[in-house]
Amino acid sequence: MAIFGHNREGAEKRIGHLSQIGGLKPYTLSDGRAAGIRAVDFRTTQGLEFTVLLDRGMDISEARYKGMSLCWRSPAGDAAPAFYDSRGLGWLWTFFGGLLTTCGLTQTGPPNVDGEEELGLHGRISTAPAERVSYFEEWSGDSLELRVSGVVREARLFGPHLEVRRTIRAFGDGVGMEVRDRIVNTGARATPLMRLYHINVGFPLLDEGTELVAPTNKAEPRDAEAEDGKEQYAQMHGPVRGYAEKVYFHSMKADAEGMVTCGVVNRKLSGGLGLRLRYRLSELPNFTQWKMLGEREYVLGIEPGIGPVIGRSAAREEGGLRELEVGEEITAGFELEVVEGEEALEALAREASVRA
């Protein structure tokens, strides 16, 4: 894609510093509970901007396209790792929402007791600071590649020692991003592995009439609350006071390349706007939909992952708990891309209509 009508050579002749056309901006937050968090902003020429919080598992907090937020933000806001509470639902005190909150690595789902270990909601990896961080702004032909890499660890004596080697990449002339993780068991024993990419779509992309498009073979309600209205799991309405969350576990169909494509579509916003999610089914066999349409708690979670989001103890009992052997490693990740215009949204809907 051209850089405001020019190739690399033409653009470089017209700028004094790369920041005129995009790039990376590292800094440290300084106010309130966010004080001390290292962050880095990505910015492209096409209007995509997002913030990676290095000290929060290299997750993505704010994200915008042409000034419009793509994600939902929790009232907790950004909070430093020191505020994390591992007990019960304490995770919610530091859950910023954002475009991406990673859950795991050894627990996802509700609080539970597995053996003698008490486990809180969704695990601790999202509050782990990144190590060995590196930044790259590199030209690939006429495209400017923006890339941040680092290592996030979940480790303790006589317990798990897992490393996530994460790379987040975007192109300066694009409207998408890629998150790739290499998860390695560098410890002394086999370790449970539970992993969830908690992607949180919010207003204005999420609004009355917004639709989830996905190659769903079956959407199983989590409980009686989700059973009520299950036929409308893909349709969104306006905020409702006192709304109780509805959670659906999806069985997805991959395309001929083994990829799942789904998306969130708002045909009324700016002539049609959507968010396209693409991932490999063999890497992320589970998909959870979090439909929370309450007042001030208005969010749609689209969440590919490893393992059922029912808590480690229940997953073990049901035989769905994955273990990573000593020295074993896996890769996982996803691509997100902004989709704009009626024609592009229809193409996304067709791409997401694969069925078994």
157 contacts: CB under 8 Å, gap ≥ 6: none
Residue 356, pLDDT > 50, answer no
130 residue type, one letter:
A
Distance, CA of 57 to CA of 199 (rounded, Å): 14
Distance, CA of 338 to CA of 31 (rounded, Å): 31
Please give the share of the chain, as a percent, with pLDDT higher than 90.
Answer: 94
Mean pLDDT of 144-157: 96
Mean pLDDT of 91-100: 97
Phi-psi category of residue 348: left, alpha or beta, with phi > 0 → left and psi -120 to 50 → alpha: alpha
List domains and CATH numbers for the chain: 8-351 (2.70.98.10)
230-273 per-position pLDDT tens digit:
999 999 999 999 999 999 999 999 999 999 999 999 999 999 99
Confidence of residue 355 (pLDDT cuts 50, 70, 90): low
Q: Cβ(322)–Cβ(193) under 8 Å?
A: yes
Residue 17, CB-side half-sphere exposure with 13 Å CA sphere: 5
Q: Where are the alpha helices (DSSP H) in the chain?
A: 8-12, 224-227, 312-318, 342-351
How many residues are given for the chain? 356
At residue 289, what are phi and psi to the nearest 5 degrees? -110, 125
SS3 label, residue 124: coil
Among the residue ranges 197-201, 323-327, 350-354, the one predicted with the least confidence is 350-354
CA-nearest of 3, 5, 52 to 25 is 52
Distance, CA of 177 to CA of 48 (rounded, Å): 9
Please give the share of the chain, as a percent, with pLDDT higher than 70.
Answer: 99
Distance, CA of 248 to CA of 245 (rounded, Å): 10
**Does the pTM exceed 0.85?**
yes
Distance, CA of 61 to CA of 31 (rounded, Å): 16
